[in-house]
Structure 1
Amino acid sequence: MTGNGSPPSFTAADYRARMDRAAGDAADAGLAGLLIAPGPDLVWLTGYAPPAATERLTLLVLAAGQDPVLVVPALEAPDAANAVGAPALTLRDWTDGKDPYAATAALLGGTGRLGVSDNTWALHLLALQRTLPGTTYAALTEALPMLRAVKDTAELELMSAAGAAADATFEKIRTVPFAGRRERDVAGDLDALLRRFGHQQVDFTIVASGPNGANPHHEIGDRVIEDGDMVVLDFGGLKDGYGSDTSRTVHVGEPTDEERRVHDLVREAQEAGFRAVRPGAACQDVDRAARAAIDDAGYGEYFIHRTGHGIGVTTHEPPYMIEGEEQPLVPGMCFSVEPGVYLPGRFGVRIEDIVTVTEGGARRLNDTTREMVVVH
């Protein structure tokens, strides 16, 4: 990673192409322009990540037919100018004591609907609304949900590398002791291994043992893992700016017949979801395929979440594999396929791979075994 958070494989021309495409997509969606605040959208579009603690207005303004402009505080302008994508845009700085909202408003028409990145501070959005009372606003997830969904070749290489690092982490974690250790101890191992294999950021390390496995988003705690426990492992983060996310369910010692049966069922459901991935299929088709396998086996009420979520410069983003989502799958999309069965008070099983859509179907970005793994 460079100092401003940009993967080294992208050029100013790459960022300009993204900004131009985003502005064009906005126009096609009936938007007068886009306002991009600090966060993953800004990094993806420009390569620039401002200081996390700043409260001063930083905003990328995009509109079809106009050069992109980054409004930035003067004291942070030198860092912005050093971003990889800076040559592809115009910097317009403002100094303390001046009105940054008036400077931004001058770049926009007085009316129209504007797309705003989801994490824009209410402080800034409300000030813009006061300055431009004739404008209305829509969150990017609502207005342009597929903005970052289709990855190019370089992005897919980074996604594949992140997936391989997560796989290497699983291969190592399955060799460490589980029985007699706390969940948080194993989670600490996962964190260290992800970083060892190249992750700069670890977003989650779920270790859900025994009855805790029935909670899909269990927060790690001090429960001591026991012989006979099923343990759900779900971990991931960012490597060179792109995400990993994988889940495997292991067993401490030999599992019972029922535990094997439920694990096999989830593995079959995950395979069914993967086989449903192909260009032109709807997102909901992936959910339906995985869910049907679990429903048919009589465990449908215990599959309590969507089958998957998109992943890229964040570990959760559109598209979502859920009933009612008719968005067609397009080559280059990356998302999880992660069905699960959760038996309250007893145990849970989840198996998750990141998958990318190809011209002929799909490719997994995680390749560790999906069979039952016994740990000790």
Structure 2
Amino acid sequence: MDSGEQGRFGTDVYAGRLRAATAAAADAGLAGLVITPGYDLRYLVGSRAQTFERLTALVLPADGEPTVVVPRMELASLKDSAVVELGVAVRDWVDGDDPYRLVADALGGGRVATAVTDAMPALHLLPLADVFGVVPVLATDVLRRLRMIKDAAEIDALRKAGAAIDRVHARVPEFLIPGRTEADVAADIAEAIVAEGHSEVAFIIVGSGPNGADPHHECSDRALQVGDVVVVDIGGPYEPGYNSDSTRTYSIGEPDEDVAARYGVLQRAQRAAVAAVRPGVTAEQVDAAARDVLAAEGLAEVFVHRTGHGIGLSVHEEPYIVAGNDLPLEEGMAFSIEPGIYFPGQWGARIEDIVVVTADGAQSVNDRPHELVVVPV
């Protein structure tokens, strides 16, 4: 069984990430990084350790070797990570020891300018600040570019996740039977998400009829009816933990002319945003590409959210495809393109693919049709 089958990448992937993170910390003028359990720790060493009242932290000095500070009773939490294979020093501690002093020592001691992951709880941040003699800054700016630019292994994982969620959407029409509730449909989808290879379900939205006009509706006991437009937004992690996220919209029976016409505009908006993606274009320009198509048809006011969000180990991460974000896109970035239209009390629709920025455009990891899927009745 290789490392990927164990829920992580090969050791060389993590070795490269540690080098890049250390260099980024040095470039930022920091003494180092302190990374507690969360997506950043998982990104850097493949660890799925959890945060408890006892401190676990990866310490990355800008000039020196990395160390993991971990409670002795939690040493087993490192066994599925790449820490041992990487040769990272492990400083275990027991109740009565001062783990924060161990962190400071690993950074060279004294008053140090340090960055911490944004997932660090205050119960660890404040004692660290006391030991350092200065409040740490967030490591978000140091790590953001590393996590935004997906490497080949990450892109492969996103493609596998996308193919798996496509297989689920291919089955959705069989679940959309008039008289069944949204919750009934969601239960079937949850089973299918795992059956098609995901390790778990991250979220399921089944928004039928007027519930489809709520972008973050989940599911309810509303019974499906003939004539309903149904928004189905689903996703979950696929080993080694990279997420799928795809939305398709369904019509139970043939839609009326108004629904069909407005949905056609939404299709054009989604295509325009995907077509706008390429290195050097800003995130806000991609958002505008979708928004301008809808605005030209009088639908600007019913598109009430951003066009997309980055995705990877977390379902929502940078870059965000939204007005005001002048970040230039780079090859390897991965994010959703998901314009939607919402008519309160009536219906809603959304089309979502995950795309990866290529050298000259974008490649989608999803390939299900974008048309309004008509479910025969």
- TM tier relative to shorter chain: over 0.9
1:290-369, aligned counterparts within 5 Å? Answer: 290-369=290-369
1:91-130, aligned counterparts within 5 Å? Answer: 91-108=90-107, 109-130=109-130
- State the partner residue of 2:70: 72
- Conserved in 2, the CA contact under 8 Å of 1:48 and 1:80? yes
- Conserved in 2, the CA contact under 8 Å of 1:46 and 1:86? no
1:178 Cα offset (Å)? 2.8
- 1:148 match: secondary structure: helix
- Conserved in 1, the CA contact under 8 Å of 2:229 and 2:250? yes
1:1-376, aligned counterparts within 5 Å? Answer: 7-8=7-8, 10-50=9-49, 52=50, 54-88=52-86, 89-108=88-107, 109-133=109-133, 135-240=134-239, 241-375=241-375, 376=377
Distance 1:53 1:32, change over 3 A: closer
Of 184-193 and 140-149, deviating more is 140-149
1:293 Cα offset (Å)? 0.6
Q: CA offsets per residue over residues 255-299 of structure 1, 9 Å max, x none?
A: 011111121111111000000100111111110101111111111
Alpha-carbon distance between aligned partners in 2 of 1:264 and 1:153, rounded to the nearest angstrom: 35
Alpha-carbon distance between aligned partners in 2 of 1:360 and 1:342, rounded to the nearest angstrom: 33
Alpha-carbon distance between aligned partners in 2 of 1:303 and 1:113, rounded to the nearest angstrom: 43
Alpha-carbon distance between aligned partners in 1 of 2:182 and 2:268, rounded to the nearest angstrom: 27
Runs of 4+ in 1 over 6 A off after TM superposition: 1-5
1:117 Cα offset (Å)? 1.4
1:329 Cα offset (Å)? 1.0
1:175 Cα offset (Å)? 2.4
1:196 Cα offset (Å)? 0.4
- 2:148 match: secondary structure: coil
Alpha-carbon distance between aligned partners in 2 of 1:55 and 1:245, rounded to the nearest angstrom: 33
- Conserved in 1, the CA contact under 8 Å of 2:31 and 2:63? no
What letter corresponds to residue 310 of structure 1 in structure 2? G
TM-score by length of 1: 0.94
Alpha-carbon distance between aligned partners in 2 of 1:370 and 1:76, rounded to the nearest angstrom: 47
- 2:355 match: secondary structure: strand
- Conserved in 2, the CA contact under 8 Å of 1:231 and 1:251? yes
Of 221-230 and 232-241, deviating more is 221-230
Alpha-carbon distance between aligned partners in 2 of 1:106 and 1:216, rounded to the nearest angstrom: 48
Alpha-carbon distance between aligned partners in 2 of 1:153 and 1:324, rounded to the nearest angstrom: 29
Alpha-carbon distance between aligned partners in 1 of 2:158 and 2:80, rounded to the nearest angstrom: 25
Alpha-carbon distance between aligned partners in 1 of 2:329 and 2:208, rounded to the nearest angstrom: 35
| Structure 1 unaligned regions, length at least 5 | none
Alpha-carbon distance between aligned partners in 2 of 1:352 and 1:6, rounded to the nearest angstrom: 30
Alpha-carbon distance between aligned partners in 1 of 2:165 and 2:343, rounded to the nearest angstrom: 27
1:2 Cα offset (Å)? 8.9
1:176 Cα offset (Å)? 2.4
Distance 1:221 1:275, change over 3 A: same
What letter corresponds to residue 372 of structure 2 in structure 1? M
TM-score by length of 2: 0.94
The count of residues paired between Structure 1 and Structure 2 equals 373
- Conserved in 1, the CA contact under 8 Å of 2:205 and 2:216? yes
1:3 Cα offset (Å)? 10
Of 137-146 and 194-203, deviating more is 137-146
- Conserved in 2, the CA contact under 8 Å of 1:280 and 1:330? yes
- Conserved in 2, the CA contact under 8 Å of 1:146 and 1:319? no
What letter corresponds to residue 276 of structure 1 in structure 2? A
1:4 Cα offset (Å)? 11
Structure 1 vs Structure 2 CA RMSD? 1.9
Of 235-244 and 169-178, deviating more is 169-178
Distance 1:5 1:68, change over 3 A: farther
Alpha-carbon distance between aligned partners in 2 of 1:321 and 1:53, rounded to the nearest angstrom: 30
Distance 1:141 1:53, change over 3 A: closer
Of 156-165 and 13-22, deviating more is 13-22
Q: CA offsets per residue over residues 38-65 of structure 1, 9 Å max, x none?
A: 1111111111112x47331001111222
Q: CA offsets per residue over residues 328-348 of structure 1, 9 Å max, x none?
A: 111111100000111111111
- Conserved in 2, the CA contact under 8 Å of 1:207 and 1:233? yes
- Conserved in 1, the CA contact under 8 Å of 2:61 and 2:106? no
Percent of aligned pairs sharing the same letter: 45
Alpha-carbon distance between aligned partners in 1 of 2:53 and 2:215, rounded to the nearest angstrom: 35
- Conserved in 2, the CA contact under 8 Å of 1:5 and 1:48? no
- 2:369 match: secondary structure: coil
Of 25-34 and 254-263, deviating more is 25-34
- 1:106 match: secondary structure: helix
- 1:345 match: secondary structure: coil
1:24 Cα offset (Å)? 1.2
Alpha-carbon distance between aligned partners in 2 of 1:48 and 1:318, rounded to the nearest angstrom: 21
What letter corresponds to residue 158 of structure 2 in structure 1? M
Distance 1:82 1:320, change over 3 A: closer
Alpha-carbon distance between aligned partners in 2 of 1:78 and 1:374, rounded to the nearest angstrom: 51
- Conserved in 1, the CA contact under 8 Å of 2:37 and 2:51? no
What letter corresponds to residue 313 of structure 1 in structure 2? L
